[in-house]
Amino acid sequence: MDHKKLGSLFIVLGLSSLLLGLFFGSIGGLQYILPPFLKEQLSFQKTRPLHVYLVINFIFSTAAGCIYYFLPTASGKKLYSLKLGIIQFSIQVFILLIIVSFFFAGKFSGREYLEFPPWISLIILGSWILFMINFFKTIPLSFNHVPVYIWSWSTGLIFYFITMTEAHLWLLPYFNNNIVRDLTVQWKALGSMVGSWNMLVYGTSMFVMESISGDKKINQSKTAFFFYFLGLTNLMFNWGHHTYIVPSSPIVKEVSFIISMTELLILGKIIYNFRKSYIEAKLKFHHLPFRLLSFSDGWIFLNLLLAITISVPAINLYTHGTHITVAHAMGATIGINTMLLLGSVFFILDELNESLMEKLKKYFGFSIVLLNISLVIFWISLIGSGIAKSVDMQQKNFFAVIMDHLQPYFRVFTFSGIAVMLALFLTIIPIFKTFSKFILSKEK
């Protein structure tokens, strides 16, 4: 066992979580249009948290696997402790099994996105501490000349620990006895937690982009660090758009709105670089990691437009609580994070079995195109559903009437969601085979 096999174990765990999460998400979608479907055996109250937890676990596990795989190369040092990594992996498998078992049994507690007993969070934080020790003992002591992806990984690790702890402040009477304080802190923690895993994913992608281009300057430039600190600012302060409807301090909402509008700088940068990216894509689009990074660039553009729109308070008043918020979450999770992580995974596959990648290039090309076409239809149908619901709510229609009006949208996002699942199944199954052979091999 070495750091590459350790990283591969986490990647296999993450991809397994993704496939299971998509499976339960598809069942949940079918329950929108066929409410009696598996109502007794696996109700929507179970499929939704299963879907959410497993997809989040995919992001963290796959990002952790990529970091373990790349870290010695990125830092120029040997991994501090292989044993700590194996212990962390074992704990993570245990956590996955116990949380899924609780959800199947209908034993829920905690809060949204963390709907399991709070004591499990202590185990999660314990495994994360092991990860942090391994990471910070491996990277250089000085941050003076390290590339931006080391900063990004470090920020993601630290802020996940902070936000995960913060998300459990509701256990204290000071918070759970005051609904405004409770909601504000809860959504602040969860909003920033999303930012923490984004830092892990983006750091991994920056390392891959550097490796593909061979240009080490791109991750040490002033521009790279400007956008890193802009992302860090958004991580810490951009959560406030979740709490516009909460009667909390106006200053919090104003600061959040101003910070969210700085995302226009990122949008402007994407548009500015579009021509350059297009020219490069003509030359490199056949390269699968580059192709996935290019698709994620498009999803960043689309999702950023949506994020900026729903961050405007006057618009947020109508979109909050509709499927437009779900579209934003799905666009970020699948369109951005999944594309970026798969790009990193394909980069690793290129190293492990280049001949197989060349052989399956057309196969993977088809599955990736199918994934993006299905996801676009899925995303648009969710936005359409949100707009239709908002209009119905303004007309003060009964809930049953609203749901009846939304059925066409539900059918489209259910079947396009199943297509997304199938496309990812087609993409991931060959990946499993390659990683499994590598893990079981005697090669180092």
CB 63 within 8 A of CB 201: yes
Together in a domain, 154 and 262 = no
CA-to-CA distance for 88 and 94, rounded, in angstroms?
10
CB 238 within 8 A of CB 260: yes
CB 125 within 8 A of CB 69: no
pLDDT tens for each residue of the chain, 444 residues long: 789 999 999 999 999 999 999 999 889 888 888 877 787 778 888 888 899 899 999 999 999 999 999 999 998 899 999 999 999 999 999 999 999 999 988 888 877 778 888 999 999 999 999 999 999 999 987 777 889 899 999 999 999 999 999 999 999 999 889 888 888 888 888 888 888 998 999 899 889 888 887 777 878 888 888 888 888 888 888 777 677 777 777 777 777 778 777 766 665 665 555 556 555 555 565 578 878 888 887 888 888 788 778 877 778 777 777 878 888 777 777 888 888 899 999 999 988 887 888 888 889 989 999 999 999 999 999 898 888 888 887 777 777 787 788 888 888 988 998 999 999 999 999 998 889 888 888 765
Together in a domain, 122 and 226 = no
DSSP state of 333: I
Please identify, among 211, 230, 245, the residue that sits at the C-terminal boundary of a domain: 245
Say how many CA atoms lie within 13 Å of 386 toward its Cβ.
22
What is the count of structural domains for the chain? 2
CATH no. for residue 429? 1.20.210.10
Together in a domain, 322 and 424 = yes
Query: 239 Cβ partners below 8 Å, 6+ apart?
Result: 187, 188, 190, 191, 192, 256
Together in a domain, 368 and 397 = yes
Q: Which two tokens stand for residue 243?
A: 């709490």
Closest CA relative to residue 334, chosen from 373, 364, 278, 285 = 373
Per DSSP, what are the bridge partners of residue 114?
111
Amino acid (one-letter) located at 52:
V
CB 59 within 8 A of CB 91: no
Together in a domain, 198 and 263 = no
Together in a domain, 281 and 173 = no
Please identify, among 199, 228, 245, the residue that sits at the C-terminal boundary of a domain: 245
Together in a domain, 274 and 392 = yes
CB 273 within 8 A of CB 243: no
Query: 127 Cβ partners below 8 Å, 6+ apart?
Result: 87, 88, 91, 92, 95
Domain of 161, in residue numbers: 145-245
Together in a domain, 229 and 254 = no
Together in a domain, 317 and 338 = yes
SS3 category, 426: helix
Together in a domain, 424 and 299 = yes
Length of the chain: 444
CB 214 within 8 A of CB 151: no
Please identify, among 245, 275, 291, the residue that sits at the C-terminal boundary of a domain: 245
Together in a domain, 103 and 20 = yes
CA-to-CA distance for 181 and 14, rounded, in angstroms?
34
Together in a domain, 107 and 54 = yes
Q: Which two tokens stand for residue 235?
A: 């991580």
